[in-house]
């Protein structure tokens, strides 16, 4: 039995679908905060179990009979350390034999503010004594593709990453990596630095967007503070805007670059290119750009 936490999230859903290509549904459990949202998974034969990172009692029940567990990091920045500790402790009580955890690229040296909670979680994993594999995920390309529509509308792509090279990859590639770590032998003790094969700057991202859309979309580099303010002005909550701006500033310092190609090695194929992912994003735009 393999339990996937956060199974109705964007990454979790992809992990479940990838796992279904390798295992019967009866061997997969989806641990979710709101089981009603997992009706589609239940219809495929996946066991759906209620689990809330902040409520340890639900975790004890959700992890019963689990041999392996994928801990997808919480989306609640600032509360992650305590929530992840709850998950790890419950997995220990349940006798889980392997935990795979989605951490952050180069978490031990990263300039990104997001790294602190991931490092604390990695430390608790070590202290727990439960065998584990750490999946240090780089940036999701989708994080940048989410701004394609406003960039096309306003004629500019804004950010604060300067000339920093970004080795992002699509969520589907990270999902396949998690499945590989959960299904391949001898994974305990490994730490993977997972990133896309083809790094780019945001200037190159904007140039690719211009090429594929047929519209001139230059990259405009802002200070971290101005970028955060622009995101708030676009309707993002202040904490999220601050996190994204901090991450761009970290990218400018090399925090989102990795050239080791461990991701493509783990999944056994090249990572999906920026151009391919951008074509998909453009195909979903109402204008058909």
78 has a pLDDT exceeding 90: no
Residue 35: count other Cβ atoms within 10 Å of its Cβ.
16
Positions of E strands within 73-218? 98-104, 132-137, 157-159, 191-194
Residue 287: count other Cβ atoms within 10 Å of its Cβ.
10
Mean pLDDT (whole number) for 114-137: 97
Could you tell me which residue, 289 or 238, shows the higher pLDDT? Answer: 238
φ, ψ (nearest 5 deg) of residue 222: -115, 165
Tokens of 235: 């309707």
Check for a shared fold between 2-137 and 139-170+196-258+272-289: no
2-137 is classed CATH 3.40.605.10: no
Residues 48, 21 contacting (CB under 8 angstroms): no
Which tens digit of pLDDT belongs to each residue from 239-269? 999 999 999 999 999 999 999 999 999 999 9
Look up the pTM and report it.
0.95
Query: Domain residue spans in the chain?
Result: 2-137, 139-170+196-258+272-289
Give the position of tokens 């790094």.
Answer: 199
41 has a pLDDT exceeding 60: yes
Q: How far apart are CA 193 and CA 262, in angstroms?
A: 6
- Residue 114 DSSP code: T
Average pLDDT, the chain: 95
Provide the pLDDT for residue 55.
93
CATH superfamily of 139-170+196-258+272-289: UDP-galactose 4-epimerase, domain 1 (3.90.25.10)
287 has a pLDDT exceeding 60: no
Which tens digit of pLDDT belongs to each residue from 181-218? 999 999 999 999 999 999 999 999 999 999 999 999 99
Tokens of 12: 């979790």
116: pLDDT confidence band, cut at 50, 70 and 90?
Answer: very high
């Amino acid at each position: 039995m393999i339990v996937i936490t956060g199974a109705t999230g964007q990454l979790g859903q992809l992990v479940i679908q990838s796992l279904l290509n390798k295992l019967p549904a009866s061997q997969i459990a989806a641990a979710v905060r709101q089981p009603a949202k997992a009706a589609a998974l239940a219809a495929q034969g996946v066991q759906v179990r209620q689990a809330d990172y902040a409520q340890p009692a639900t975790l004890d029940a959700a992890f019963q009979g689990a041999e392996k567990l994928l801990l997808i990091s919480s989306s609640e920045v600032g509360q992650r350390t305590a929530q992840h500790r709850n998950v790890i402790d419950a997995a220990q009580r349940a006798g889980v034999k392997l935990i795979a955890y989605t951490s952050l690229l180069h978490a031990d040296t990263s300039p990104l503010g997001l790294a602190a909670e991931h490092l604390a979680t990695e430390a608790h994993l070590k202290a727990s004594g439960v065998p584990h594999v750490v999946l240090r995920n780089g940036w999701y390309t989708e994080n940048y593709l989410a701004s394609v529509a406003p960039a096309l509308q306003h004629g500019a792509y804004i950010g604060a990453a300067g000339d920093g090279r970004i080795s992002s990859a699509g969520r589907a590639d990270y999902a396949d990596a998690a499945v590989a770590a959960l299904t391949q032998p001898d994974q305990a003790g490994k730490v993977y630095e997972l990133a896309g094969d083809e790094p780019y700057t945001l200037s190159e991202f904007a140039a690719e967007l211009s090429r594929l859309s047929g519209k001139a979309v230059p990259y405009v580099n802002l200070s971290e503070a101005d970028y955060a303010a622009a995101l708030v002005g676009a309707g993002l909550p202040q904490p999220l805007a601050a996190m994204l701006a901090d991450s761009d500033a970290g990218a400018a310092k090399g925090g989102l670059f990795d050239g080791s190609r461990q991701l493509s090695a783990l999944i056994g194929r090249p990572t999906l290119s920026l151009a391919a992912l951008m074509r998909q994003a453009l195909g979903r735009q109402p204008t058909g750009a």
